[in-house]
Amino acid sequence: MLRRSEPDGIVMSAAVLMEGVHVLLGDVHALAGVDLEVAPGTTLGVLGHNGAGKTTLIKTLTTLIRPDVGRVVIDGFDVVVDADLVRRRIGVTGQYAGLDDFLTGRENLELVGRLSGLGISASTRADDIVAALGLADIADRRVGTLSGGSRRRIDIAASLIAEPSVLFLDEPTTGLDPAARGALWDLVGDLTDRGTTVVLTTQYLKEADRLADHIVVLDHGQIAARGTPAELKRLVGGKVVSATLPSQHLDRLSRQPDDTESIAAARSRVSYSTPDAVVAAAVVAQLEHDGVAIDDLEVSSPTLDDVFTHLTTQGVS
């Protein structure tokens, strides 16, 4: 899918492009030299601890913050030079619902559709979104009477009214119950199948694992790691050994765990990242040799949670 040509004759093929982007918020370097590229019809997951720069990244990509240094291009258009054109091509759902409390959910959707230029077709489009997202039970209630999770569902629906070519979701499933979260996951999959590009920030690592084709991990405004979910998991080895044992037995361990978590009743959960199943088996044998009382033992493939632990404790080589 080709985009319009840049003035120098280069044809943009990325739906989202950032080159050397720096953003200063007061004395804070919120983004410090960020480069990323998102192919059309794919989902980019943006991960990071609170304060890592995720929301600043989204605001910069959606024209709400101008970069101090660098270039940002969305769907072939510069977010500074062509900000109005960019806004016509994107949909945005922030961390907090931006809805009119005195209108019903359906009326909010229709209003957003009309503001997006759909005209008389806005009503039909609103009905289609209500049906697609399973919102019939709440669509005709005033938004001010809805629960936080229901408001979130309407807010997400509003971002889809204009059928954006690039959709930005900033922690979209915060406050949703598991059923609503699963429905949104299915919707994001359908959207990318139809060619929509999605940029997603999330605190739910399972969500990123399920949805993202590629992931970037932000830390202090910089990209600490990037790759597919599988590539990132390889940062921490091929297998993870986890064991629950009495906290008083921790000093018996001859091999220092990669992570230790205190749990109820004076118990601790330790985990070891290993390169393969052979080393994992050796770790299990060593635990037995150390003479600790193990309540629970698990050998599994690494998750994105393990990637976070790895980046926090050891960094990226």
pLDDT digit string, tens, across residues 211-239: 999 999 999 999 999 999 988 888 777 88
Query: Count H helices, E strands: the chain?
Result: 10, 14
* 6: pLDDT strictly greater than 70: no
pLDDT digits (tens, 9 = 90+) for 288-302: 999 999 999 999 888
Mean pLDDT computed over 233-254: 90
* 265: pLDDT strictly greater than 90: no
**CA separation (Å) from 267 to 247, 277, 282?**
5, 26, 23
CA-to-CA distance for 118 and 124, rounded, in angstroms?
Answer: 10
Helix 122-132 crosses helix 148-160 at what angle (to 10 degrees)? 130
Q: How confident is the model at residue 312 (pLDDT cuts 50, 70, 90)?
A: low
Q: Which two tokens stand for residue 196?
A: 């929509």
Helices (H), the chain: 54-61, 83-89, 105-115, 122-132, 148-160, 178-193, 205-211, 229-233, 277-290, 304-313
pTM of the predicted structure, to 2 decimals: 0.76
Higher pLDDT, 59 or 149: 59
Q: Which two tokens stand for residue 13?
A: 């093929």
pLDDT at 13: 78
CA atoms within 13 A on the CB side of 71: 11
* 8: pLDDT strictly greater than 70: no
Q: Which two tokens stand for residue 180?
A: 């609503």
Mean pLDDT computed over 122-149: 90
CA-to-CA distance for 4 and 243, rounded, in angstroms?
Answer: 55
Q: Which of 9-13, 53-57, 234-238 has the highest mean pLDDT?
A: 53-57
pLDDT at 147: 83
User: Which residues in the chain are classed under CATH 3.40.50.300?
Assistant: 16-228
First to last CA, the chain: 35
User: Which residues in the chain are classed under CATH 3.30.70.120?
Assistant: 238-301
> Where does residue 70 fall: left (phi above 0), alpha (psi -120 to 50 degrees), or beta otherwise?
left
**CATH code 3.40.50.2300 for 16-228:** no
Instruction: For residue 18, count CB atoms less than 10 angstroms from its CB and return exposed for 0-12, middle for 13-18, buried for 19 or more.
Output: buried
CA 185 to chain centre: 11
* 207: pLDDT strictly greater than 60: yes
Higher pLDDT, 306 or 62: 62
CA-to-CA distance for 173 and 300, rounded, in angstroms?
Answer: 27
- Which CATH architecture best describes the domain 238-301? 2-Layer Sandwich (3.30)
